[in-house]
Structure 1
Amino acid sequence: MRKGTAISVFFSMLIIGLGAVGAYGIHLWTERQLSGGPLLATGQVKAQAAAAPKTAVNAKKTRKEIIEDSQKRVVTIESGDGLGSGFLYNAKGDLLTNAHVVAGSREVMVRTMDHREYTGQVIGIGTDLDVAVVRVPELKDTQPLPLARSGKAEVGDEVLALGSPLGLENTVTTGIISGVGRSFDIEPYSYSNLYQISAPITHGNSGGPLVSADTGEVLGINSAAATEEAGIGFSIPIANVLKQAEEWSQRPMAELPGASGGGYDTAESDGLEGSRSLVASFYQSLNDGDYVTAYSLLGSEWQSGTAYEDFRSGYLETGYISVGTLSAEEQGDGALVTVDITAEERRDTGTVYQTYQMSYSVGVENGKLKILHGKGKKVD
């Protein structure tokens, strides 16, 4: 072979060789980018890729998922004095709620989202602090709501208020933290460093959780409203009450202040006086505009024939009701309560004051004293 020809062949082979090395290097570089690891031989890259564990991605929950998860752990609480809400805060089956929801009761009825009903025991209740703990043994080991144990919510944070406003269970209202550090007194309770929220709070919401719309953690206990029209509510920060609640869960109170055994439990224990008190409470609730509590004092037959919305609308044009002397006499297993009332009625022609003679059949239903039936007539 001539020298020129040999040199040409040499450079041709060199170029081919360099091209092969370059292609192999590009192949390895590409696999390196895909594997995210150091430059390895092809076999090592494939082996590493096969052996590498798949990392789970903790996707942030959507607003809908937070609501669905939270509602499963929120309950309706019915005591002798009315309705409220509560939520599971530990795995012992303990519920947090407001003291004013269960005041005067040792036992309350607890209803879950799937309409199961249990008897709950009040194991701790505040006298100045509006918080209480109710234990439901059947809910033990049920996953509780996550709690914001540290840190504080700030103005502008988006929140969800869950509960049973006006007896409408599984209700969610949305809003923001519109103020912090609010303090006031509503006898006998003292409220301090509250969250002010734009999510409306009304009768039946009390004791329900205020939940972060971003994390699903409980920020507070919904406790009070300015007025229904104002659309402003107040919530006790969870960090302010958690220590006391956990002490009650560890060491339940042996005696509850003001407890009467669970409201109007039996006609035998309360007798005719209990029946008179029940009817008096019915009218007091109407005068307070607390139609949820008034409705809860009615028996199941009365409620089945009159929806809550119809019951409430029937009193919207009624002002203050003056209640005369209540009298009661035995009637079968219960009592017959009679009373004369004078109602302030707003009509198109003006306000009139109408007197009625009312009579109510009172008896025990599911362990609670209820107004079973009622009738009245105008007194000219």
Structure 2
Amino acid sequence: MRHKRYPPILLTILIGLIGITISIYMYINWDKQELSVSNPIISKVELDSQPQNLKNIIYQTEKHVVQIEAQNEYSTLTGSGFLYNNKGDIITNAHVIEDAEVIYVRTANARIYPAAVIGVGQDTDIAVVRVPQLAGENGLPVETKNETEIGDEVIALGSPHGFQNTVTLGIISGTERNFSVDGYNYSNAFQISAQITQGNSGGPLLNRETGKVIGINSVGTKDGTIGFSIPVIDVFSQIEKWSNEAQNDQLHFASTEDMINTLDTEQFKEDAKYVVEYFLDSILIRDYVNAYALLGDSMQASTSYSNFREGYIQIVDLEYENISSEPIENKQINTTAEVSIKKKLPDEEELVEENKTYHFTIGYENDQLKIINITYDE
């Protein structure tokens, strides 16, 4: 009778083998399949961990980077700086504004404001100037943790040789560099492959991945192949001290009108060209608020912001070339640009392309450069 035990044993072994086979199959397929998670918090963490779009980082940063013009009886020195808080305080280098009797800043949207020094280093090459008209605006985010390493990708912004909002890319090629230049001691400086030339000084150095300011671009080698940037974390406490102690009623500011009256024709033409480029770039990046702010009073009076936005919202791509400026009457400039636009119209499946020659009338209103009128030729 003992032989009757074998069928149950064989059945048990068979069931076990089937179970093992199914388990192996499920494991293999589980390993190949993507795990779908709908939790919005996890999705946000995934998105935030991705490097930001380079074009967006540059455009958003440029809004807070200024060109600094420090004038005295003998010369005008041009440098850079960046807004870092909501008090209108701008970080720059001490050597940019030393010996200056009058200081002006040019913002990314072509506005000119007088500035006053609220703090300047005697041994360290840092300074802070204040522009009350910029109070209330958010400054650039500053990295207050010491996490920068050799090999990190960086973005340097500034105004080399007067070319406002110029961008150079590179990496951190060295750290803890110590040296002296023109009476200033640089300690623990970043060595960077991004070029730093005349006019770049005082501009921000950004971490490519986070978009935060990690340094203040300060000096470069004569051949332009190596630059050095002061780690903002090393000087941030001193910058904050100057900012907190400064009182606007104790500061002296020059007149904006004085600077405008001393502009030569060539500078006026370059400024007008810059306004047009910034306007077109704002349309391309779909920043209609900044573009609309460049319009003069008469244009804004005849066109509401919502109507202005509706006129450009269908544009998906825009290119421009052959920008030229010529003076006209009433201290105004006519700036011409050949513009190619691609639109996505509601009833069209394919993009519609338009090529036009635009004419921008540029002039000053309330001491600020504005677009007075826009026309175009088909």
Alignment TM class, shorter chain as reference? 0.5 to 0.7
Q: For 2:187, what is the secondary structure of its paired residue?
A: strand
Residue 239, structure 1, aligned to residue 233, structure 2: yes
**What does 1:1-380 align with in structure 2 at a 5 Å threshold?**
57=44, 58-59=47-48, 60=50, 61-80=52-71, 81-105=76-100, 107-227=102-222, 229-252=223-246, 300-301=263-264, 303-304=266-267
Instruction: Mark the CA change 1:235 to 1:300 in structure 2 (over 3 Å): closer, same or farther.
Output: same
Identity of aligned residues (%): 45
C-alpha distance in 2, partners of 1:88/1:260? 19
Q: For 1:300, what is the secondary structure of its paired residue?
A: coil
Q: For 2:60, what is the secondary structure of its paired residue?
A: helix
Q: TM-score when scaled to structure 1?
A: 0.54
**C-alpha contact (below 8 Å) 2:153/2:208 kept by paired residues:** yes
C-alpha distance in 2, partners of 1:53/1:303? 54
Shift of 1:186: 1.1
**C-alpha contact (below 8 Å) 2:80/2:200 kept by paired residues:** yes
**C-alpha contact (below 8 Å) 2:70/2:101 kept by paired residues:** no
Shift of 1:68: 1.2
C-alpha distance in 2, partners of 1:171/1:305? 19
Structure 1 gap ranges (5+): 1-35, 38-48, 267-295, 309-380
Instruction: Mark the CA change 1:230 to 1:304 in structure 2 (over 3 Å): closer, same or farther.
Output: closer
Name the aligned partner's letter for residue 215 of structure 1.
Answer: T
Shift of 1:141: 1.5
Q: CA RMSD in A?
A: 3.7
C-alpha distance in 1, partners of 2:63/2:268? 29
Q: For 2:55, what is the secondary structure of its paired residue?
A: helix
CA deviation digits over 1:305-338, x for unaligned, max 9? Answer: 9989xxxxxxxxxxxxxxxxxxxxxxxxxxxxxx
CA deviation digits over 1:119-158, x for unaligned, max 9? Answer: 1111111111110001111111211111111113111000
C-alpha distance in 2, partners of 1:305/1:85? 20
Name the aligned partner's letter for residue 193 of structure 1.
Answer: N
Name the aligned partner's letter for residue 263 of structure 2.
Answer: S
Instruction: Mark the CA change 1:164 to 1:124 in structure 2 (over 3 Å): closer, same or farther.
Output: same
Shift of 1:230: 4.3
**C-alpha contact (below 8 Å) 2:171/2:194 kept by paired residues:** yes
C-alpha distance in 1, partners of 2:211/2:104? 26
Shift of 1:90: 1.1
Name the aligned partner's letter for residue 242 of structure 2.
Answer: W
Name the aligned partner's letter for residue 89 of structure 1.
Answer: Y
**C-alpha contact (below 8 Å) 1:210/1:235 kept by paired residues:** yes
C-alpha distance in 2, partners of 1:307/1:93? 26
**C-alpha contact (below 8 Å) 1:97/1:131 kept by paired residues:** yes
Residue 351 (structure 1) aligns with: none
Shift of 1:67: 1.1
Q: For 1:244, what is the secondary structure of its paired residue?
A: helix
Shift of 1:105: 2.8
User: Which stretch shows the higher mean deviation, 59-68 or 202-211?
Assistant: 59-68
Q: TM-score when scaled to structure 2?
A: 0.54
C-alpha distance in 2, partners of 1:90/1:126? 19
**C-alpha contact (below 8 Å) 1:104/1:260 kept by paired residues:** no
Q: For 2:238, what is the secondary structure of its paired residue?
A: helix
Structure 2 gap ranges (5+): 1-35, 272-378
CA deviation digits over 1:165-211, x for unaligned, max 9? Answer: 11111111000001111111112211111000000000100000000
C-alpha distance in 1, partners of 2:247/2:221? 32
